[in-house]
């Protein structure tokens, strides 16, 4: 808590302006939610009524310093694109929604992804073991082949 009189007044003023700004911000958020709800329902009449109200609230919030100009411009662009989409929709009461693709349950995925049980080397029989690459020893039947490497300069 500040000790200086002017600092105390500044704290009181900032708390009061914060409460006012919070009200404006809440009003703006409510307008945006109502507009988005009307768009998702596909109600053309309600969208046409709410569009100018929402845009004017966005502009007003910029002049009051509630939100930044770029944020307001971005929100207006989103609102106007949704408005155009609903206004140009042909006689449909409900906006087209994307169909959800049913994803397989986690249990099914786990079962499919289980690796096949591998036999360990201890349990595998001599027939199942893969042949190891070893150097051949000279036997009486097959003489050893000499390999020479040429020295490269």
Reading the block at residue 95, the tokens are: 């906006």
Which of 41-50, 107-116, 122-131 is modeled with the greatest confidence? 41-50
Topology of the domain comprising 5-88: Methane Monooxygenase Hydroxylase; Chain G, domain 1 (1.20.58)
pLDDT tens for each residue of 23-80: 999 999 999 999 999 999 989 999 999 999 999 999 999 999 999 999 999 999 999 9
pLDDT tens for each residue of 79-91: 999 999 998 886 5
Q: pTM value? A: 0.55
Inter-residue contact 52 to 42 (CB < 8 Å):
no
Q: How crowded is residue 73: how many other Cβ atoms within 10 Å of its Cβ?
A: 13
Reading the block at residue 7, the tokens are: 């600092």
């Amino acid at each position: 808590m500040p000790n200086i009189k002017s600092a105390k007044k500044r704290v009181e003023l900032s708390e009061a302006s914060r409460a006012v700004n919070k009200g404006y911000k809440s009003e703006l958020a409510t307008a945006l939610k109502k507009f988005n709800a009307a768009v998702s329902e596909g109600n053309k009449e309600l969208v046409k009524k709410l569009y100018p109200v929402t845009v004017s609230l966005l502009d007003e919030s910029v002049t009051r310093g509630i939100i930044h100009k770029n944020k307001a411009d971005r929100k207006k662009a989103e609102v106007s694109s949704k408005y155009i989409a609903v206004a140009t929709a042909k006689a449909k009461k409900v906006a087209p929604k994307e169909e959800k693709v049913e994803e397989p349950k986690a249990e099914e995925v786990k079962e499919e992804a289980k690796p096949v049980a591998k036999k360990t080397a201890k349990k595998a029989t001599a027939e199942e073991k893969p042949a190891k690459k070893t150097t051949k020893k000279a036997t009486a039947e097959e003489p050893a082949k000499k390999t020479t490497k040429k020295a490269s300069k």
